[in-house]
Amino acid sequence: MSTSEQPDPSRGLRAGLAGRYEIESELGAGGMAIVYRARDAQRDRAVALKVLRPELSAATGIERFEREIRVASRLVHPNILPLLDSGVTGGLLWYTMPLVEGETLRARLDRERQLPLDEALQITAEVAAALGHAHERGIVHRDIKPENILLASGHALVTDFGIARALSDTNDRLTASGLALGTPAYMSPEQSAGERDIDARSDLYALASVAYEMLAGEPPFTGPTVQAVMARRLSQPAPSLRVIRPAIPEGVDAALRRALATTPADRQASTAEFVTALQREGTGAGASAGIARPRRWSLAVSAGVLGVAALLALQLPMWRARPATDGTSVARPRGTADAIRLAVLPFRQIGGDASDRYLADGLTADVASALANLGGVRVIDQASVASLQASAKGAREIGTILRIDALVDGDVQKSGEAIRVRVRLVDPASEEAKWSQAYDHTARDVFQVQSEVARKVAGVLRIQLAERESRTLERPPTTNPDAYDAYLKARAQARARGGLERPAQADSIIASLTQAVRLDSTFARAWALLASTLVSTVFLYDAPASRLDQAERAIAIALGIDSSVANAWKARHDLEWNAVRGWHFAEALSDVRHALALEPSLVEGHNGLGSLYFHYGFTGKAREELEASLSLDPRDGCDDSTRCVGFSRPRVARVLWYEQKFDSALAVYARMPYLGGFVWEKAVVLTGAGRPTEAMAVLDSALAAQGPETADRAAARALALASLGRRDEALVAVRAATLNPASRSHSHHSQFTIACAYARLGHAKEAVAWLRRTAENGMPNYPLFRDDPSLKGLQGVAEYETLMAGLKRQHEANRALVYGDRTM
């Protein structure tokens, strides 16, 4: 029977999967499987459902299939597309994967035939990383080929881990049916010969064959029949790439030919060794140079390309895919005046071991998050609430300070596997409980508490739940108790004093979250928290930038599983707008707005949006967001420590500085007990207010207290000295600032102050050059460049006027993004 004549199994599947998966359409079909677009009814998400052909299902056996799928599903790696679920229905074996927008490498090669060297090496490196991860765990893929490599979100994803292994014992039975396992053009000689005990070097051979095709336009061995291909592979060495493409470096050719050796012992020992050789020879810069950061491949996918891509049923959300713009999903609800303000006090731990404290802390955070996802509620940030509870204030006083309408408190008691959670909803004014209830669970289902409490609180407060909110509450975050336990530990650690700012504690949080997603690869919230943690460590204390690549994959997985997780959108905003990845204003703006549409109480979202606005000169909008953040977190992320700077207050002062409201900015600083790294901004504001002598005193005190001059403080000192007419000293200071103008991802602030100092000194050329750097480095703040008093002397300078004309056009374009069709 031909492929086109194969019976369509979807009719029986639809009935058998009813209530679990709803089949929506067929995406593609091959000799071994049919792929459908389906909706996961439990989690309300789109997935790719791949169903093996009836004869293949019959030959494989349910037990073996489920065993191999179960092993493969434990693989968690940025370059591996996870297996979500599997089963048997009506005798047909099936499994599901995230639905990902992209195309297969096969589709790309069909369209372009040969790829640029750097892209081919990057794809090879990422596939090798995925294979290396599997090989370390004793898993061999057995079917690496362009059809099983997806290009999405600017990265390569390897698919179908475990499938070839599950089918490997069925080959003899299937051959008679006209089906064959493996792909001759990429199979290693030992696999072609039918050896059962193949190892990682077989995958290496297949990967080298794919790499060869990306560069040459065809696999290393071709022929009119399968037998001809196998004969050539066994009788001939791999042909030189340089015959087909002379520009390929000799070292790359040699590394490929070694990986394509007939005898496994003659190949590199691992995929990592293979990639190291390619990188060393491909970059021409030594092994440590690595491959340049991958470009985001253009996937302008035509209908024809989609047909090829659909054979694997892979359509994960692309990195650049934007949320819907129909006005309902992106436009943030502004009804904050009508929203109920609510605080969740940290749940008390009753008895038990001190090591179980994380359970109460984690449940507190999860209940607060569940309530924060309700559009009619604004939940006060946990940092502000916890600091007040720690000071032993009563409900009435807490209510007055936080200006809340309701308060949730509770306690957690753990005895063996049994967990009792008691929760109350309290009216702060009367200190009366309006509702209370005890929930008895075990560690295996305690994750249900958050949705049960949120639904009950919403009912008592008469909050009408939207359909999306109801669906979210009905959907458990995970069904794996151990994964949830690891997640709660991570949440509790993140909320602890010091949080992510301590590298060791951040690494512990990352380890807990990695464990959570390893135990349940469909745990979207854990993926999102892992992503945001990875991003934060890079910008808090300069952790390796490679963590951003890990975060990117975690975000893609989280949103592929559940696109309603606000933290994933906020983390994506962070990746869209920084010095390492570039300053993508439109994308970052869309992402953070979408995060706030999903969770209006997300303090980090308001902070991020406010920061984005003031960098681009929209100070009025920035003030709105920063004030919203302070409304939700009056303590600004601080406890009772006097050495806490906070996030929003110093940025409110910065907005006032940018508006030339220097006295108002100084009033904000006066209310801050500790300025920390923002002390240089106070000095700049003092200079702007005509008080440079006081600015110098502030900087001298900082030098004594904080140690050697930073670029920020050196630039502020240069500006103050220039204002005092001490030109020689100012030139020394500004040149010191230019030697090290970077400050993590925000060097544009010191660059702007350097420009102001040069302008005060009358060095117009240098001033304009540093303004241009500032604009190119994430701060094209046209109103600030136009109105700052230090820059008035640049008016009429040709280079300045040219720069400003371009920035004005850019600002007007950005205004359209910020305000839509409205004008100010």
d(CA 374, CA 369): 9
Question: Could you tell me which of 102, 100, 103, 89 has the C-alpha nearest to residue 46?
Answer: 100
Strands 340-344 and 406-415: parallel
Label residue 371 left, alpha or beta by phi (over 0 means left) and psi (-120 to 50 means alpha): alpha
Strands 377-379 and 340-344: parallel
Q: Is 786 exposed, middle or buried, given 0-12, 13-18 or 19+ CB atoms closer than 10 A?
A: middle
Let me know if 172 is a catalytic residue.
Answer: no
Question: Could you tell me which of 24, 5, 33 has the C-alpha nearest to residue 312?
Answer: 33
Is residue 407 classed as helix, strand or coil in its secondary structure?
Answer: strand
What is the dihedral sign for C-alpha 384, 386, 392, 393? positive
Place of tokens 């050495």: 643
**For residue 232, how many other CB atoms are within 10 A of its CB?**
15
- How far from the centroid of its chain's Cα atoms is residue 670's Cα? 37
Q: How far lies 475's CA from each of 482, 516, 519, in Å? A: 18, 18, 18
* Three state DSSP letters for 474-538: HCCCCCCHHHHHHHHHHHHHHHCCCHHHCHHHHHHHHHHHHHHHHHCCCCHHHHHHHHHHHHHHH
Is residue 547 classed as helix, strand or coil in its secondary structure?
Answer: helix
d(CA 550, CA 134): 17
d(CA 730, CA 735): 8
d(CA 204, CA 271): 6
Q: What is the DSSP letter of 662?
A: H
d(CA 97, CA 159): 9
d(CA 127, CA 158): 6
Query: What residues contact residue 18 under an 8 Å CB cut-off, 6+ apart?
Result: none
C-beta of residue 107 within 8 angstroms of C-beta of residue 308: yes
Question: Could you tell me which of 146, 180, 148, 142 has the C-alpha nearest to residue 164?
Answer: 142
Q: b/e per residue, 89-120, with b = 16+ CB within 10 A?
A: beebbbbbbbbbbbbbbbbbbeeeeebebebb
* Count, residues in the chain: 824
C-beta of residue 49 within 8 angstroms of C-beta of residue 23: yes
d(CA 732, CA 714): 9
Q: Which of 8, 40, 85, 143 is catalytic?
A: 143
d(CA 614, CA 629): 15
- Provide the token pair at 55: 């004869």
d(CA 392, CA 140): 58
d(CA 655, CA 674): 19
d(CA 103, CA 27): 13
d(CA 592, CA 638): 23
d(CA 486, CA 509): 9
**Which residues form the catalytic set?**
143
